[in-house]
């Protein structure tokens, strides 16, 4: 008895990251794409006839498949390529592609600082017996490097399918907390110093694992800031998974990734003097 009115179908939150390899420096794109189509799909709604319903999984794959060649900083251009691709299909009447690009600030030739969730933190504990502690820290410091990190030589068992990688993209959201003994005279200047050391160490030092990277950052801080007695890092490994394009008859150039929010590698360590 009803009459089909406006309708559309598509895929939302298709997250794609891409490294644009350069001779001297890399560029990095990090986007979320939404594809919405309309077309001659009344029969799909009313009769369950899917012969004109392009699967939303195909839309997702198309985004990755075309990203390798076409995703640049011209987001509108990539949107047009996608629209034109989908409109080639007879039953599609309109296509809408929306792209949201996260902004990463360049820090080095292959290093970027992302997002804006960074916060300076402090904790003071005191008790009536004269005890207590003063700590400072940072959280939400999102860093990513396109080179300079590896993970190989690990043990394998029947559940291990991870390939060995000598050079991989590494991203994490640094949470660090350090204990002052004694409290420095200028806590703001010290905080800026420590943050800078953490950032420089992450981008400047090659690491064999997240654990190794954490150790190197801790060492750098302890060497340079005598007021810090110990430092704790929490370093979630924010995975950017290589997307396999060979399934679509394309060659993998190793530049297109699928960033995932969950699960994440969960690495923590404390380093003391």
Question: Residue 32 belongs to what H/E stretch?
Answer: strand 27-39
Tokens at residue 117, please?
């969730």
Among the listed ranges 17-25, 77-85, 168-176, 196-204, the one in contact with a copy of itself (CB under 8 A) is 77-85
Closest approach, Cβ 3 to a copy of itself, in A, equals 5
Q: Is 65 in the site for a copy of itself (CB under 8 A)?
A: yes
Angle at CA of residue 155, ends 154 and 159, nearest 5°:
115
Quick check: helix, strand or coil at residue 194?
helix
Q: Is 74 in the site for a copy of itself (CB under 8 A)?
A: yes
Among 62, 110, 172, 255, binds a copy of itself (CB under 8 A): 62
Q: Is 10 in the site for a copy of itself (CB under 8 A)?
A: yes
Confirm whether 239 is a catalytic residue: yes
Confirm whether 212 is a catalytic residue: no
Could you give the string, one character per residue 26-55, with x where binding to a copy of itself holds by CB under 8 A and - elsewhere? Answer: ------x-x-x----x--xxxxxxxxxxxx
Q: Is 155 in the site for a copy of itself (CB under 8 A)?
A: yes
Q: Which of 11, 18, 85, 145 is catalytic?
A: 11
Smallest CA-to-CA distance from 83 within 71, 96, 73, 74 is with 96
Cα dihedral 106/112/118/120 (nearest 10): -80
Among the listed ranges 17-25, 61-69, 166-174, 196-204, the one in contact with a copy of itself (CB under 8 A) is 61-69
* Separation between Cα atoms, residue 108 and residue 115, nearest integer Å: 16
Confirm whether 56 is a catalytic residue: yes
Tokens at residue 42, please?
């009344």
Exposure b/e, 66-92, CB count within 10 A at least 16 = b:
bbbebbeeebeebbebbbebbeeeeeb
Q: Is 204 in the site for a copy of itself (CB under 8 A)?
A: no
Q: Is 229 in the site for a copy of itself (CB under 8 A)?
A: no
Q: Which of 20, 212, 239, 258 is catalytic?
A: 239
Close Cβ partners of 212 (under 8 Å, ≥ 6 residues apart): none
Residue appearing with tokens 């690990």:
154
Tokens at residue 197, please?
């050391």
* Separation between Cα atoms, residue 134 and residue 125, nearest integer Å: 6
- Number of residues in contact with a copy of itself, rule: CB under 8 A? 131
Q: Which is nearer to a copy of itself, 99 or 169 (CB)?
A: 99
Among the listed ranges 18-26, 124-132, 166-174, 196-204, the one in contact with a copy of itself (CB under 8 A) is 124-132
Dihedral sign, Cα of residue 259, residue 19, residue 208, residue 178? negative
Q: Is 18 in the site for a copy of itself (CB under 8 A)?
A: no
Interface positions, 156-175, toward a copy of itself (CB under 8 A): 156-162
Among 23, 166, 182, 273, binds a copy of itself (CB under 8 A): 273
Among the listed ranges 19-27, 168-176, 196-204, 205-213, the one in contact with a copy of itself (CB under 8 A) is 205-213
User: Which residues carry out catalysis?
Assistant: 11, 56, 239
């Amino acid at each position: 008895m009803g009459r089909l009115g406006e309708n559309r179908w598509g895929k939302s939150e298709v997250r794609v990251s891409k490294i644009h390899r350069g001779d001297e420096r890399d560029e990095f794109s990090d986007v979320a794409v939404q594809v919405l189509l309309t077309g001659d799909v009344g029969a799909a709604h009313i009769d369950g006839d899917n012969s004109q319903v392009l699967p939303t999984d195909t839309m997702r794959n198309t985004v990755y498949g075309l990203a390798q060649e076409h995703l640049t900083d011209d987001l509108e251009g990539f949107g047009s390529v996608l629209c034109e691709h989908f409109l080639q299909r007879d039953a599609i009447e309109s296509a809408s592609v929306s792209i949201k690009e996260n902004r990463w600030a360049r820090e080095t030739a292959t290093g970027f600082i992302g997002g804006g969730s960074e916060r300076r933190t402090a904790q003071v504990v005191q008790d009536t017996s004269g005890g207590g502690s003063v700590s400072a820290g940072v959280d939400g410091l999102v860093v990513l490097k396109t080179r300079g990190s590896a993970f190989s030589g690990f043990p394998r068992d029947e559940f291990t399918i991870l390939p060995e990688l000598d050079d991989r993209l590494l991203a994490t959201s640094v949470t660090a907390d350090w204990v002052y003994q004694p409290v420095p005279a200028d806590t703001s200047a010290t905080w800026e110093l420590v943050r800078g050391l953490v950032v420089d160490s992450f981008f400047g030092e090659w690491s064999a694992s997240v654990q190794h990277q954490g150790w190197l950052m801790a060492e750098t801080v302890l060497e340079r800031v005598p007021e810090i007695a110990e430092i704790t890092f929490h370093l979630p490994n924010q995975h950017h998974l290589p997307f396999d394009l060979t399934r679509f008859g394309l060659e993998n150039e190793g530049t297109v990734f699928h960033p995932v929010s969950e699960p994440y590698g969960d690495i923590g360590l404390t380093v003391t003097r």
